[in-house]
Structure 1
């Protein structure tokens, strides 16, 4: 009994230290955004601002066109999330529950796409977007992300343990395939959909490389591109850069906070199947 208590305390201690290590960069970002430029240059650095300046956030946001950048990022992230959820749930359901020739080979190709670095396909994708007249267009950023295979893999793994007898009973009762999918399968996909929403939203929100290639007009720039431009222009005002970077993390934290319970459940169940 004593050994179990010691093990539990050791585990709690390790988790506490790991949490501090992971949260410290965010803490340092926020406290740095509240400091003056003079205090940011202090050696050794202070752990908490001596004279907090919350106005850094307002001033930094007003200097750059971050409202437009944020709106653009939200549009692209929302479009990507919707596209990935719709396509992945349909494709994952088909691969998990339908029997057709070449199903295993097709799924293997989907897995192979997860091993290909995005940079290696940038030029072919860019040429395809150019042919479709989608350069400098949010759709040019959204469509390649929707075509990714990770969501299909996740949904397929999740549905492997879904009882096929339930689907057969619905067919016997006269339900069509789309009705079965919409009214029986989708309501059971809450955890995996929440997982997809968080992962895809974070990836889209933080994406820098592909939007930088596709979007050429400042009016279409996303928030990461806007922060990079802002950093080049205000390299000497580091507190402003830190303030904008801290504000950029808020939507991701909100999305994760709203769906974290389903996110953990979805990851666990998908990994066990």
Structure 2
């Protein structure tokens, strides 16, 4: 009886916390359907009096949000695919291949995790400028080809692959490339899904680096475009909320669709090895 009461209390508290966390998102969605100026009333209304899609029509017709949406989608997809290839290969190498300085190099990478990313933006920008990649999509994709966290996550999971399985494949004459693509990658499926979600979300939500590298307005991504929109329509809360919904909904839908694989990969990557 006591355990049942404790479970009810815990579930009730978790439900309240979930509602508290979801309330801003629900109100953002509601405001996006309101008429201009309706959200500025006091007290602010919870639901629109006459729901309308006018804010979304204005976003895609006049403010070119569709082009920015496509830019973000292309960049996030390219970054995710390229980053997966490099992170998976590097993580597997650190976990299962023996080479000179492997452990020292990995420890140096882990030490670099404590360095804020903003510190590297200036030298990275100068490097992109020297390479002629400023104001190009390659300037956004290239620095994101590999991440220390991604390498670490894959390494921790790949250490659980039995060495005997890899040695048997080598004895049968399989090369390292074939072992990686035919044997290792299928075993890394949970961590691949997790890393894909994390990388896509990070790239989709990235604001600072695209703002620095992409000076042409036609190349802007959704977060940068939304910030520009806020300067142009500083008092138009309804239009701003519609832009926020357009920015949030795709990644929210992706996360909800793949959350089982995401959580499974995180737990397995954290406890194995």
TM range (shorter): over 0.9
Q: Which residue of 2 aligns with 1:189?
A: 188
Could you tell me how far 1:235 is from its partner in structure 2?
A: 1.5
Per-residue deviation, 1:236: 2.3
1:7 paired residue number: 6
Could you state the TM-score of these two structures normalised by the residue count of structure 2? 0.95
Q: Aligned equivalents of 1:113 and 1:147: distance in 2?
A: 13
Corresponding residue of 1:110: 109
1:47 Cα deviation after fit: 1.9
Distance 2:23 2:196 in 1: 26
Query: How many residue pairs align between the two structures?
Result: 272
Structure 1 Cα separation of the partners of residues 219 and 112 of structure 2:
29
**Aligned ranges for residues 1-273 of structure 1 at < 5 Å?**
2-273=1-272
Q: Partners of 2:53 and 2:65 in 1: how far apart?
A: 17
RMSD: 1.3
Contact 2:37 2:236 in 1 (8 A): no
Secondary structure of residue in 2 paired with 1:37 = coil
3-state secondary structure, aligned to 1:25: helix
How far does the alpha carbon of each residue in 1:206-245 deviate from its partner, in whole angstroms, 9 at most, with x for none? 1111111101111111111111111111122221111011
Q: Secondary structure at the match of 1:179?
A: helix
Cα contact 1:78–1:201 (8 A) shared by 2: yes
Using the TM superposition, give the Cα deviation of residue 60 of structure 1 relative to its aligned residue in structure 2, in angstroms.
Answer: 2.5
Distance in 1 (CA, whole Å) between partners of 2:246 and 2:157 is 34
> Structure 1: which 5+ residue stretches go unaligned?
none
Displaced runs of 4 or more, over 4 A: none
> In 2 relative to 1, CA 247–69 (structure 1 residues): closer, same or farther, beyond 3 Å?
same
Cα separation, 1, equivalents of 2:175 and 2:108? 29
